Amino acid sequence: MQDEKIKVRVTETDQLIDVVVYSKKASQIEVIIGEGIHSTKCKLTPVDTGLGYAGNVMGREIIYERSREQVQADIDNALPSTRRR
């Protein structure tokens, strides 16, 4: 099975990095940053505007620039049997 990867932005440096998705729901996305024993798990939660997700890892803020609706659509496309009616 292929790991799902997403690009998140480190706000301090404005750098885009690839992270592995551990779990994905419209209410929260858990990602793993790094590899092997140096990896760290981070929870991304929706921001107040609903236009992205934000979280902190090792004192640095990261953001995923997709709305809740876009994330829910991604989930629905990946698993058609779990679509909300």
Model's pTM, two decimal places? Answer: 0.86
C-alpha to C-alpha distance for 74 and 82, rounded to whole angstroms: 11
The predicted-structure confidence for 9-20, as pLDDT tens digits, reads as follows 999 999 999 999
Question: Would you list the domain boundaries of the chain?
Answer: 5-82
The predicted-structure confidence for 30-75, as pLDDT tens digits, reads as follows 999 999 999 999 999 999 998 999 999 999 999 999 999 999 999 9
Residue 49 confidence (pLDDT): 92
Token code pair at residue 27: 């209410």
Q: In the beta sheet, which residues pair with residue 5?
A: 20
> Which residue bears the tokens 């902190």?
56
